[in-house]
Amino acid sequence: MKNLKVFLENLEASLPSGLTLNKVLIKELGLNKDAASRRISGKTPFTYSEVCVLAKAYNISLTPAQSSSFHNVVFGYTPFKTKQVDSKYFFENISNLLYKLNAHHHKLLYHVAPEIPIYHYYNYPLLLNFKLFYWGKYLLNIDYYVKRVFKDAPSDPQIVEHAQKAYEQFCLIPSVEIWTPQTLQTVLTQIQFCIETGDFTNTAEILLVLEELNQLMHRIKQMAEDNNKAFDHDKKMQIPFQLYKMDVNMNTTSIVAEMDHQKIVLQNFNSINFMSTTQPDFCEESLNWINNLQSKSSLLSGAGIIERQKFFNLMFKQLSDFKEQVLKLNL
Q: What is the mean predicted confidence (pLDDT) over 53-70?
A: 66
Residues 175 and 103 sit within 8 Å (Cβ to Cβ): no
φ and ψ at 302, to 5 degrees?
70, -115
Taking the C-alpha atoms of residue 116 and residue 178, their distance in angstroms, rounded to an integer, is 10
Whether 5 shows a pLDDT value over 80: the answer reads no
State the DSSP string of 167-187: HHHHTTS-EEEEE-TTHHHHH
Taking the C-alpha atoms of residue 69 and residue 254, their distance in angstroms, rounded to an integer, is 24
Whether 64 shows a pLDDT value over 80: the answer reads no
| pLDDT tens digits along 280-322 | 888 999 999 999 999 999 999 987 789 999 999 999 999 999 9
Whether 135 shows a pLDDT value over 90: the answer reads no
Taking the C-alpha atoms of residue 22 and residue 26, their distance in angstroms, rounded to an integer, is 6
Whether 82 shows a pLDDT value over 80: the answer reads no
Beta-strand relationship, 241-245 and 175-179:
parallel
Residues 6+ apart with CB under 8 A from 121: 127, 128, 131, 163, 216
State the DSSP string of 15-52: SPTT--HHHHHHHHH---HHHHHHHHHTSSPPPHHHHH
Q: What is the mean predicted confidence (pLDDT) over 186-196?
A: 96
Percentage of the chain modeled with pLDDT above 70: 90
Taking the C-alpha atoms of residue 319 and residue 214, their distance in angstroms, rounded to an integer, is 7
Which pLDDT band, with edges at 50, 70 and 90, does 90 fall under? low
Taking the C-alpha atoms of residue 102 and residue 229, their distance in angstroms, rounded to an integer, is 14
User: What dihedral do alpha carbons 278, 180, 289, 296 form, nearest 10°?
Assistant: -150
| pLDDT tens digits along 234-280 | 667 899 999 999 988 888 889 999 998 889 999 888 767 788 888 88
Q: What is the mean predicted confidence (pLDDT) over 56-78?
A: 65
| pLDDT tens digits along 144-170 | 889 899 999 998 888 888 889 999 999
Residue 244 has a CB neighbour count (10 Å cut-off) of 25
Whether pTM > 0.85 for this model: the answer is: no
State the DSSP string of 45-88: PPPHHHHHHHHHHHT--SSGGGSTT------EE--------SHH
